[in-house]
């Protein structure tokens, strides 16, 4: 449309057919510059086998972080693989993990490749799995935390996303948490049983500060609900989706507690 407007106006104003033609081409150039860039459609859902392979490399890095291989960590991985892959494929994956544990990988390069072929929801699923692995023995060591942070950074996961997932497992710098869950849930009849420090952690999960407005709380929840929604990783298998559902529930719980504390509708 712009090209024709330029062409007609140029021809009429200057009373010259050739100037009108020139104006038509100028309009075409402007039209092409204003045309929105095509959406990137190069991303395709990551292959479940490729996802599992990279996840095993990250698993090995976290398991070796503190210099010890604990049975509880191995059982955590074994149970996950059995549920997600079935007995035969799980056995193959465990043998693969054994080989990976004995091999030195360029972890940063693996992270970069993983980042290119996954979407944000798949990367968050990986991050939640690693925190669950590190916490499988009841505590997350500083070495494990540093390794997870390195993987998160190298995969391009935003800092606030990392802190949100971390808060689901560590609960900030205060007690009252165990295995990534609340040790004492607030009852509907007693708001005082839920401390301000625990509520601060809920704000971390939603990636906002306690000073955020009610509208900002709602916007943050809607954004994260989209990122963490189980449907976005359903193609990776039922167990992957179930794992995402567990953390999606934590997000919903944090949001409900903040709403209750603020008296939001």
pLDDT digits 0-9 by tens, 97-107: 999 999 999 99
Q: What is the pLDDT of residue 191?
A: 38
d(CA 145, CA 133): 11
CA-to-CA distance for 202 and 117, rounded, in angstroms?
Answer: 31
The whole-chain average pLDDT of the chain stands at 78
Q: Which of 160, 170, 166, 257 is nearest to 217 (CA)?
A: 257
pTM beyond 0.75 = no
Residue 139: pLDDT band with limits 50, 70, 90: confident
pLDDT, mean of residues 90-102? 93
In tens, the pLDDT along 36-86 reads 544 443 445 678 888 999 999 999 999 999 888 888 999 999 988 888 788
Residue 253 has pLDDT above 50, yes or no: yes
Give residue 22's pLDDT band: very low, low, confident or very high (50, 70, 90): low
The pLDDT value given to residue 133: 93
Other Cβ atoms within 10 Å of 112 Cβ, number: 13
Token readout for 167 is 């808060």
Query: What is the residue whose two structure tokens read 């330029």?
Result: 6
Residue/partner pairs of 246-251 with CB below 8 Å, 24 or more apart: 247/128, 247/165, 247/168, 250/168, 250/180, 250/181, 250/205, 251/205, 251/206, 251/221, 251/224, 251/225
More confident residue, 239 or 3: 239
The mean per-residue pLDDT over the stretch 214-237 comes to 84
State residue 21's pLDDT score: 61
Domain boundaries, the chain: 2-34, 48-184+193-262
H helix intervals, the chain? 2-14, 17-34, 48-63, 71-85, 87-101, 107-117, 120-134, 142-154, 159-170, 196-205, 214-228, 238-262
Secondary structure class of 209 (helix, strand, coil): coil
Per residue in 171-217, pLDDT tens? 643 333 333 333 333 333 333 344 445 888 888 888 888 889 999 99
């Amino acid at each position: 449309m712009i090209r024709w407007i330029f062409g007609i106006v140029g021809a009429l104003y200057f009373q010259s057919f050739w100037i009108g033609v020139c104006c038509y081409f100028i309009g075409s150039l402007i039209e092409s510059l204003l045309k929105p860039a095509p959406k990137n459609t190069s991303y395709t859902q990551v292959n479940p086998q490729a996802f599992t392979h990279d996840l095993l490399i990250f698993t090995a890095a976290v398991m070796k972080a503190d210099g010890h291989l604990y049975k509880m960590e191995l059982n955590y991985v074994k149970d996950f693989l059995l549920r997600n892959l079935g007995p035969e494929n799980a056995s193959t994956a465990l043998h693969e993990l054994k080989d990976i544990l004995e091999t030195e990988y360029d972890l940063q390069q693996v992270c970069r490749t993983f980042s290119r072929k996954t979407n944000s929801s798949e990367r968050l699923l990986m991050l939640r799995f690693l925190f669950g692995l590190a916490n499988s023995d009841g505590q997350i060591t500083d070495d494990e935390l540093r390794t997870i942070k390195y993987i998160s950074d190298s995969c391009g996961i935003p800092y606030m996303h990392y802190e949100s997932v971390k808060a689901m497992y560590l609960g900030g710098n205060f007690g009252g948490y165990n295995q990534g869950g609340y040790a004492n849930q607030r009852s509907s009849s007693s708001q005082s049983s839920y401390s301000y420090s625990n509520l601060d952690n809920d704000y971390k999960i939603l990636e906002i500060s306690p000073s955020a407005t009610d509208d900002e709380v709602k916007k943050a929840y809607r954004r994260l609900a989209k990122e963490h929604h189980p449907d976005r990783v359903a193609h990776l298998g039922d167990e992957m989706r179930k794992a995402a559902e567990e953390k999606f529930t934590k997000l919903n719980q944090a949001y409900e507690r903040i709403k209750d504390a603020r008296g939001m509708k």
